[in-house]
Every structure is written in structure tokens, then in C-alpha cells.
Amino acid sequence: MENNLILYYFGIINLLSGVLFIIDKNSAAKNRRRIPEMTLHFLEFMGGVFAIFILMYVLRHKNRKFKYYMWTWVLVIWWIIILLIFNYDFMSWTFMINKKH
């Protein structure tokens, strides 16, 4: 049950992040009000960085803005480290340090 909640969380936060990133891209193209970068970075920090990271290159949006690009890379690396520390394998959420073989 707990494993499913974590997967649902990551799915929802990445879906929300991706949708807002696409809205920001469309707003930029139409010269409309944009999603603040701090909002996008907050969503990245909360776990939505993977969708934004992929969409940054697929949509060619914000991938040439160094400051945004740099913080997104920092958050990607941060999340990868967090997932490796907790050895999250998308099937279980366990600490593998004391696991007996």
C-alpha cells in the first residue's frame, strides 16, 4: 500500500509539472501570462523534475536559459541521489544497508 502511494505521488506530481510546463510553453508562444519559474522549480523540487526535464528538450522550452537549465539539472541530480540513497526500485521502499543476503 505504501509503495503504491509513493508511485501515485510521483505520477501525479510529474503529470501536474508536465501540464504546467506545457501551459507555460504555450503561453510564451502566445505572449500571455507565464507560469513563474519559481513555481516550476518548486514542482521540480517536490518530485516533478523528471517530466519537466524530458519536456525541456522535447518542447525546446527553457533549455537555453542557463539559470533555469542549471537549477533543473541540480534538482535532477538531487532526486537521483535521494532515490539511490533510499534504494527506491519502484517496487519497494526499503533501506538496503542492513539487508542480509
Domain-by-domain residue ranges, the chain? 2-85
Q: In which residue are the cell numbers 519559474 written?
A: 37
How far is residue 73's CA from residue 70's CA, in Å, rounded to a whole number? 5
Q: Is 24 in contact with 61 (CB distance < 8 Å)?
A: yes
Task: Report the Cα 95 to chain-centroid distance in Å.
Answer: 23
Kindly state the average pLDDT of the residues 14-38: 95
User: Greater confidence, 85 or 99?
Assistant: 85
Q: Is 27 in contact with 33 (CB distance < 8 Å)?
A: yes
Q: pLDDT digits over 45-88, tens only?
A: 999 999 999 999 999 888 788 888 899 999 999 998 888 877 65
- Helix/strand/coil percentages in the chain, nearest 5: 70, 0, 30
* Listed residue (59, 52, 51, 47) closest to 88, CA to CA: 47
Kindly state the average pLDDT of the residues 24-45: 94
Least confident of 21-25, 30-34, 42-46, 62-66: 62-66
